[in-house]
Chain A
Amino acid sequence: MERTRETKSQELIRRLKYNKSAVFGLAIVVILILCAIFANFIAPNSPTPSPPELFKALKPGFWSEDGIEEMPLGADGLGRCVLSRILYGARVSLTAGFVAVGIAMILGITFGTIAGYYGGWVDAVVMRIVDIMFAFPALLLAIVIVTVLGQGLDKAMIAIGIVYTPQMARIIRSSVLYIKEMEYIEVQKAIGSSDARIIFRHVLPNSIAPVIVYGTLMLATAILDCAALGFLGLGAQPPIPEWGAMLSKSYSYIVSGAWWAATFPGIAILLSVIGLNLLGDGLRDILDPRLKT
């Protein structure tokens, strides 16, 4: 048993290596995670200096002679180091993404499995609720939920988690529907295993692959949506360095020539979304048995 699992993961790595874009995506994600974990060691300055150093406001970065040496990417409108805020922002964005997707997974897997496994009216009720939630555009629904819960990063994570739950529930339900018809499940039923045992020991482990793929892809959109909520002023509250909020606070300076305060957070959002999408696509290629050559 142990040996086969090892060869399976070895096989995964081998297949991943051949997928160039997935490796690239993985590299970005790893760098991002490292930035997030070690932000307090890498960042040249505090992301929220107190008291503030307003006199450094909108100073350019390394490309200009007027720049401040210890702020390579320049300063924002309140004289804070853009690079340091982006690094700490990685922590905020990744945490937000993981927590939101985590919430979506817990809720989605619970409801999806119950609906798929038990079928009948349970399935009908759960899936109709899911349909209703699908009828709303994701971001709009998130805004409504944040409005009800109140502003703040924690509320934004919960809102995005709830919004992504239906997708997760649908994915897991379709896997469960397929797996529960398998012979080994019938065998379990025949020998009198409890539903809980069947679900946790057999159904879930076998339907987890698509969840991982879609979870990765969802992470990208969750980070994006979190930034969008931050941009609208509904997500992270000041002084938390959040990419979307940084962007919205600084875009008006682009006209005045101070492009760096908005551009670099934008690039950070772009890179992380690209990285996670490439990785997610790569994982799908590898994990989806139908795509196996």
Chain B
Amino acid sequence: MKSKLFLVLLLTVGLVFSLVSAASAENILVFGSSGDASRLDPGDVTDGESIQRMDNIFEGLVEYEAGSVLIKPCLATSWEASADGTEIVFNLRKGVKFHDGTDFNADAVVFSFARQYDSNHPYNQYGEWAYWGYMFGDVDKMEKIDDYTVKLVLKRPNASIMTSLAMFTVNIVSPTNAEKYKEDAFKHPCGTGPFKFVEWVKDDHITLEANENYWRERAKLDKLIFKVIPDPSARLMALEVGEVQGIEYPNPADFERIKANKDLVLMSQPGMNIGYMAMNTGYGYIDENKNGVRDLDSEPLVKTPGYFEPLTKKKVRQAINMAIDKQSIVDNIYMGTAIKAKNGMPPFMLGYNDEIEDYPYDPAKAKQLLTEAGYPDGFEVTLYVMPVSRPYMFDPPKIGEAIQSYLAAVGITVKFYQVDWGTYLQETEAGNHQMCLLGWTGDNGDPDNFMNVLYGANACSIGAAGNYAFYTNNTVQELLSAALATYDEEKRATYYKKAQEMIHEDAGWVYLAHSTQNIVFRTNVKGYVLNPTSRKFFYPVWIE
């Protein structure tokens, strides 16, 4: 009996080894991700983990040049815009097939767009389409002209529409696949991209394999596996022993150890992001007609659930800005993997206002401002602290604790509030918080993607807010809307600069840092290019 058992064991071990050796002949990359994807439908995801999978399965009409946010043709070979910019005609690439064999054509493009904006579309019910609301509100419709020509019609001119079209949100999905799986289509992604979906084991891994019929040259990797390893130390150790070949979000404290290991390469680049603490200034609106815009006559301002008297006062918010030593936080908690922020968007973007002078770290002045505002003895306030590390904030609890001690020095007592990530987003979008830690990673390199989404009054809709300070300044919103409709870059920039001045003066946010994006590979992984949007494309990658 015992010897039989031994035999079975031997056979199993043998089998495993033969599998491993067979596998090593193939070019396989296992990537250590910090979390699992939420859904696998490019139109219906907003988080970096899901996007990272989508970007290797799907493609859009246009795409970014590697390592930049410049647009180049992808599934569309060329395009032409009307004089006023409200109509764009796209010529589509011929001979492209989806992974399930369906032909790529105008019907697929119209399907991928219309299901998101048309509430009567039969497939509209299968998703929330959150990003459509953020970024594509100006789109009126997508029309088929002939099998390989489509026309995009806008409600009004939009200067950022072409860069937005390279976003995952408007990647093209196979209509036959959607028809086959209906509400489960998000578990069976099918696009035209360099990799095909193989399997998804929830909270463990997602496997992709090279698309043999790709319209460009076949991917150099045979297989691409996204393995979920939430703990940063565990991720690094898996990389060190070669269990994975690349990892995201390494712990800044481990950078020296990584640099000392000649088997590993650390790739870093200034990230297109902002990490901040938002202070709820008190009022939002209820978006009755769900148009993503505050209609001034019919949608009045109402108190948010997290309304808190002291934070409605500008002097208090400015005092909080002055009570926190941001430089020290950047140096010692971000450990040099970030630069101090003074505005709500990254410095290399169009319209960044470098003339704004940041609030200095001055606790004495802060105390004085608090006294002037009527709070000489301070007050007690609740801070929502994110439970997860994000590209713009590696260790939110630690930053929260640092802020807590800084504010204690000027008499403000900070209480923590921590919930799971999904609830956190829901509660902050509904304005339940008094103060919260959050941030944003840019999607398309356009300033509108920061300014309008994060700081406009339209983004103060209770329940779907992106403006977490609930800063409802109509003048700022007018500037941002004017900027979006302006094609002249210089003129556009002046609008954004003016808006930033007002945002700075009213101090709804404490802008903490713009983090660098960091990724670590084993040295034999070649061809990876960092993108300013932090998106991860594995098409050009191979293992030596």
Q: Which positions in A face B, CB cutoff 8 Å?
A: 48-52, 54-55, 57-58, 77-79, 151, 233, 237-239, 249, 252-258
Contacts and interface: CB of A to CB of B under 8 A. Distances in A.
Most chain A C-beta atoms within 10 Å of own C-beta, residue among B237, B325, B398: B398
B221 interface: no
A256 B406 contact: no
Given A51-B325, A54-B328, A238 B401 contact: yes
Given A52-B405, A238-B416, 8 more contacts: A50-B405, A54-B328, A55-B328, A55-B332, A77-B333, A238-B400, A238-B401, A255-B257
Given A79-B332, A254-B233, A255-B236, A51 B406 contact: yes
28 contacts: A50-B405, A50-B406, A50-B408, A50-B409, A51-B363, A54-B331, A54-B332, A54-B333, A57-B333, A58-B253, A78-B398, A78-B401, A78-B402, A78-B405, A233-B418, A238-B400, A238-B416, A239-B401, A249-B397, A252-B231, A252-B232, A255-B233, A255-B236, A255-B251, A255-B254, A256-B253, A256-B254, A256-B256
B404 interface: yes
Interface string B396-428: 011011101110110000011010000000000
| Top 9 A-B residue pairs of the complex, sorted by shortest distance between their CB atoms | A54-B332, A256-B253, A52-B405, A50-B408, A255-B233, A51-B409, A50-B409, A54-B328, A50-B405
B237 A239 contact: no
A250 to B, nearest CB: 10
A151 to B, nearest CB: 7
Contacts of A253: 253
Nearest to A79: B332
Nearest to A58: B253
B329 interface: yes
Contacts of B257: 255-257
Interface string B315-342: 0000000000100110111000000000
Contact of B253 (A48, A233, A249, A258): A258
Contacts of B233: 252, 254-255
A30 B229 CA distance: 43
Given A54-B328, A54-B329, A54-B332, A49 B232 contact: no
A45 B395 CA distance: 25
A249 B398 contact: yes
Contacts, number: 74
Contact of B251 (A57, A151, A252): A252
Interface string B198-240: 0000000000000000000000000000000001110011000
A16 to B, nearest CB: 43
A237 B253 contact: no
Contacts of A239: 401, 404-405, 408
Contacts of A57: 332-333
A252 B236 CA distance: 11
Contacts of B256: 256
A237 B415 contact: yes
Nearest to B328: A54
A238 B397 contact: yes
Contacts of A54: 325, 328-329, 331-333, 402
A244 to B, nearest CB: 14
Given A54-B328, A249-B397, A249-B398, A256 B409 contact: no
A133 B441 CA distance: 47
Contacts of B415: 237
Interface in B377-404: 395, 397-398, 400-402, 404
Contacts of B254: 255-256
Contacts of A254: 233
Contact of B418 (A78, A151, A249, A258): A151
Nearest to A257: B257
B378 to A, nearest CB: 12
A55 B406 CA distance: 14
Interface in B245-294: 251, 253-254, 256-257
Contacts of B328: 52, 54-55
Contact of A77 (B331, B398, B405, B418): B398
Nearest to A52: B405
B518 to A, nearest CB: 14
Contacts of A255: 233, 236-237, 251, 254, 257
A52 B231 CA distance: 27
A55 B325 CA distance: 11
A46 B331 CA distance: 22
Nearest to A254: B233
